[in-house]
A and B are shown apart, each in its own frame.
Chain A
Amino acid sequence: GAVVSQHPSRVICKSGTSVKIECRSLDFQATTMFWYRQFPKQSLMLMATSNEGSKATYEQGVEKDKFLINHASLTLSTLTVTSAHPEDSSFYICSARQGVYGYTFGSGTRLTVV
């Protein structure tokens, strides 16, 4: 079946540094990639939607300059958290859409900013 590889699974970084999270579709071409943020015991919150070769569409309230999304190819999308602060600590998860019905999720990244 379709697989999305997300790395790293866990990362601890110092406040003020940047962190890059990668999502790669291994055996299919991802038309669209969704990036979510999830706080403990809460639902998924969509941050942005990216389509290959075009600029990401950010949800209202999400800082574009802080959460940089690049979708340079049909198999790779990245989320960079710039100048991270403790409040950016969260669980980040990507989801690739394949066709109309297929949504394949990465395994998620737990980011801790100290």
Chain B
Amino acid sequence: AQKITQTQPGMFVQEKEAVTLDCTYDTSDPSYGLFWYKQPSSGEMIFLIYQGSYDQQNATEGRYSLNFQKARKSANLVISASQLGDSAMYFCAMRDAGNNRKLIWGLGTSLAVNP
């Protein structure tokens, strides 16, 4: 069965430093997609970055980059130069291979950026 594992319930980082949020996945489907979302206290889900299983390069979006290690089945999110506004919940998700292509979610990591 497809599964997403986020093992860090909470993380702290100093402002302006980089932080890595861990995500491992399990799937037998050779074609899959991995997503990271940010959820601030307001509740909205903000798309951060996407990595396809066949993408040759690691995805990057501004201060966000995805450290994709296919053999290890890991898709860690790296946030560079942390800002106070980065404090939020972060969820890793994988697109299900079924017809509806629902997302399989990790439990999330709560990130707190300290000034």
A: residues with CB less than 8 A from B are: 32, 34, 38, 41-44, 46, 49, 51, 57, 91, 93, 95, 97, 100-101, 103, 105, 107-108, 110
A97-B101 contact in complex given A41-B110, A43-B107, C-beta closer than 8 Å: yes
Q: State in angstroms the CA–CA spacing of A108 and B44 once bound together.
A: 6
Q: State in angstroms the CA–CA spacing of A105 and B48 once bound together.
A: 13
Q: State in angstroms the CA–CA spacing of A41 and B105 once bound together.
A: 14
Q: CB distance B91 to A95 under 8 Å? A: no
A103-B110 contact in complex given A93-B45, A95-B45, C-beta closer than 8 Å: no
Most buried by A among B33, B35, B42, B44: B44
Q: Which of B23-37 contact A (CB under 8 A)?
A: 33, 35
Shortest distance between the CB of A114 and any CB in chain B (Å): 20
Residue of B nearest to A105 (CB): B45
Shortest distance between the CB of B91 and any CB in chain A (Å): 7
Q: CB distance A101 to B102 under 8 Å? A: no
Most buried by A among B103, B106, B107, B110: B103
CB neighbours of B106 from chain A (8 A): 43
Q: CB distance A43 to B108 under 8 Å? A: yes
23 inter-chain pairs at a CB distance below 8 angstroms, sorted by A residue, are A32-B100, A32-B101, A34-B100, A42-B107, A42-B108, A43-B106, A43-B107, A46-B102, A57-B100, A93-B43, A95-B45, A97-B100, A100-B33, A100-B101, A103-B47, A103-B103, A105-B44, A105-B45, A105-B47, A107-B43, A108-B44, A108-B45, A110-B43
